[in-house]
Amino acid sequence: MKLKINWDHKRTKHAIERMWLRGISGKDIMNALLKGQKRKQKDNLIEAFHSYYSVVYAEYFFKEQNIHKIYPVTVKIW
């Protein structure tokens, strides 16, 4: 299944701004999604912890197109 991060969605604007403020790149986000420890939040949101930051995102599976879409919501530093 192909993993795709949707950066064009209106909800991702906040995540992009938080990334710029914290110096986190798109590659760092991908590492958090693939390697990070995941915790489920309410309303279909998931938080992936990696290194010194975490990514909150929504995910959707499209089986007919064989795509796994990710919509980042915010980026936290802890």
Strand order in the sheet with 2-5: 2-5, 67-77, 53-62, 45-50, 37-40
Q: What is the pLDDT of residues 48-62, one digit of tens each?
A: 999 899 999 998 888
Q: Which domain holds residue 6?
A: 2-77
DSSP bridge pairs for 3: 68
The pLDDT, as a whole number, for residue 1 is 56
User: How much is the pTM?
Assistant: 0.84
CATH code for the domain in which residue 33 is found: 3.30.2310
Domain count, the chain: 1
Q: What is the pLDDT of residues 29-39, one digit of tens each?
A: 989 999 999 99
What's the longest Cα–Cα distance across the chain? 38
